[in-house]
Amino acid sequence: MSELDTLIQLLARLPGLGPRSARRAALHLIKRREGLMMPLAAAMQGAAAAVRPCSQCGNLDTMDPCAICRDPERDATVICVVEDLADLWALERTAAFRGRYHVLGGTLSALDGVGPEDLNISRLITRLGPGMELILALNATVEGQTTAHYIADRAEPTGAKVSRLAQGVPIGGELDYLDEGTLTAALNARRAL
């Protein structure tokens, strides 16, 4: 059973799959040898060979610069900073942002030994200048906010305007179920109707 065991062990290392669901996934693949297992193996090899980080923004794409950085329709004077590629994808799904991105690849964390030189920050600063806007779309966690403050300090001398995502009640959110921090932020940032 060695080939099957290897497959199961590697599948179990994917996020969201444990040992039991990795066995189910392996069985599912073996039963769909031509329709799923071979195409998936080929897609992994294709992605491994073709996908590279964009030298401008850190997004992953088969081209460098990436499709977003090359798109002349997108506003090059607005740069949205995200922690991770998943956050970029989440923002792209909204279709509400027509500027460009910068992917940091993590957040500052003294505990995990992640310093500014470990993140894609110096490259970000070289992209900024007067008349530009930098939107800090970092997670509302301690690490995310620490990183946001650090980047805001570094960006200041470039003359770029710095903003961050609004904090408040999520759409569909019920006050009764929200934490005190969110409610306090929503109260403090209340807007005239």
Sole residue written with tokens 């969201």: 16
Rounded Cα gap, residues 175 and 172, in angstroms: 10
- Judged by beta carbon, residue 81 or residue 128, the one nearer a second copy is 81
Task: Specify the DSSP class assigned to residue 169.
Answer: P
Binding-residue pattern over the window 23 to 62 for a second copy, x denoting contact by CB under 8 A = xxxxxxxx--x--xxxxxxxxxxxxx-xx--------xxx
Q: Which of 64, 70, 76, 86 binds a second copy (CB under 8 A)?
A: 86
Q: Is 6 in the site for a second copy (CB under 8 A)?
A: yes
Torsion 24-30-32-35 (CA) sign? positive
Q: Which is nearer to a second copy, 36 or 189 (CB)?
A: 36
Nearer to a second copy, 18 or 116 (CB): 18
By CB under 8 A, tell whether 142 contacts a second copy. no
Dihedral (CA of 104, 84, 77, 155) sign: negative
Size of interface with a second copy, in residues (CB under 8 A): 46
Q: By CB under 8 A, is residue 70 in contact with a second copy?
A: no
Residues 106 and 87: their CA atoms lie apart, in Å, by 11
Reading the block at residue 94, the tokens are 């909204």
- Nearest CA to 11 out of 29, 36, 31 is that of 29
Residues of this chain that interact with a second copy (CB under 8 A) are: 1-4, 6-7, 10-11, 13-17, 21, 23-30, 33, 36-48, 50-51, 60-62, 67, 84-86, 89
